[in-house]
Amino acid sequence: MATDLYDLTVPSLLRGLSAMSAFLAKAEGWAAETGTDPGDLLTARLYPDMAPLSAQIQRASDSAKGAAVRIGGIENVAMADEEVTFADLQARIARTVAFLEAVPADAMNGQEARPVTLVTPGRSVAFTGIGFALEFVLPNFYFHLTTAYAILRMKGVPLGKLDYLGAA
Quick: pLDDT tens for 75-94: 999 999 999 999 999 999 99
Give the whole-angstrom CA distance, residue 6 versus residue 139: 16
Give the whole-angstrom CA distance, residue 152 versus residue 4: 34
- Domains of the chain, by residue range, sit at 5-165
Q: Is the pLDDT of residue 168 over 70?
A: no
Q: What is the mean pLDDT of residues 118-134?
A: 94
Q: pTM, whole model, 2 decimals?
A: 0.95
Residue 120, strand partner residues: 123
Q: What is the pLDDT of residues 14-46, one digit of tens each?
A: 999 999 999 999 999 999 999 999 999 999 999
> Looking at domain 5-165, which of 1.20.120.450, 3.30.2310.20, 1.10.10.60, 3.40.50.300 is its CATH number?
1.20.120.450
